[in-house]
Chains A and B, each alone.
Chain A
Amino acid sequence: MLVLAKSPAFTSTPSRAIASPSARSSVDSPSSSPSSRSDTPDPDDSACATRAQAGDMSALDELVARHHAAITRLLWRFARSRADLDDLVQETFLRMVRGLPGWRPHLPFSHWLLRIATNTGRDYFRRRRVRDRWQVPAGSSPGETDAPTPEAVDPGADPAARAASEEVKHLLDHLSPDERALLTLHHLEGWGLADIARNYGWTLTATKLRAWRARRRLRALYESASPS
């Protein structure tokens, strides 16, 4: 119990051992963290986005095609179901289209889009929190005998990985939306706290404090969920 409080998995550098690029040999796809990408704008992206700003639909198609895999992968960490993932990815690209007139070519397009995606993910957590708060628990009404059939979980290419991902998401479900977004990016995507702070417009100190509190709660949840 006490070991957990000081253990590397839950202290300030948990994902260094877990999610740092060097330790992620088993993970096929690279991290989407902004620091893992170049800070200089990709000329192809910039050219495409500039043409899309001017109303070129083929440039818009190209932007979607270039980025949809990375955005899907990032938002899969947030989504609880396939249908939610569809909605989140679509919402991200719709926000991109709406915000395109405000994008400036000196900013890396991928960073800008990543920020839209993470904000979409955090908004999703907030909506779910509100919905869960007002939702009547299954079986609480007198006439209800059976709980609704849960949505079938797509086992994916790697059922063990899918099950583990579901378990982590289920644990994170108990945290506040901001904490969930923070730990989702930190633990599952391997983002550094500085990247997360910059992305959400938080100060680094506040982000560290929030991460510390979230990890403490997560630790308690994990301990209560897994008998040792």
Chain B
Amino acid sequence: MKTPPDSPDSRWENLLRRAQADQPPALDLPSLQRAARAEARRPRPDERPASPAWTALLPFRPLLSTCLAGTCAFGVLASWQVWEWWQVLPWAQLLAASQGGAP
């Protein structure tokens, strides 16, 4: 079905078509090139996340991964121990009962 010529759709399409034909003003190329050159000549700041002293003292990435690994290992060991004790405790009660009970 064809869109009626005076509908909002056709007006919108016309508006877009005209807007797409809009051309930008010309820019000053030499000044752009000068700005790019000046930026290229500018000394680069140290992009490390912290000051060099801190970085030397504490290498953050290895430290972070070590902490994560330690936390995971601790979690696994702690869970395992709790599970073990939970298994053992009834046996400990039975043992205590067989020896006359706890004092």
Contact = CB atoms under 8 A, between A and B. Distances in A.
Interface of A: 3-4, 7-10, 15, 17-19, 24, 26-29, 52, 55, 57, 60-61, 63-65, 68, 72-73, 75-76, 82, 85-86, 89-90, 93-94, 96-98, 100, 154, 156-158, 160-165, 167-168, 187-188, 190, 222-223, 226, 228
Contacts of B37: 57, 60-61
B19 A94 contact: no
Nearest to A101: B44
Interface residues of B, number: 28
Contact of B9 (A10, A27, A64): A10
A228 B32 CA distance: 45
A8 B39 CA distance: 46
Contacts of A18: 13, 16-17, 20
A130 B54 CA distance: 35
A154 B24 CA distance: 10
Contacts, number: 133
B21 A94 contact: no
Nearest to A73: B24
B7 interface: yes
Interface string B4-42: 000111111101111111111101010011011101100
B3 interface: yes
A156 B18 CA distance: 13
A228 B22 contact: no
Given A60-B40, A72-B27, A168 B15 contact: yes
B29 to A, nearest CB: 6
A173 to B, nearest CB: 14
A204 to B, nearest CB: 23
Given A60-B36, A72-B24, 4 more contacts: A4-B8, A85-B27, A93-B32, A222-B12
B35 A94 contact: yes
Given A64-B32, A94-B35, A161-B19, A7 B9 contact: yes
A192 B32 CA distance: 30
Contact of A26 (B9, B12, B17, B39): B17
Given A7-B3, A60-B36, A98-B39, A157 B23 contact: yes
Contact of B36 (A55, A64, A167, A223): A64
Contacts of B8: 3-4, 7, 222-223, 226, 228
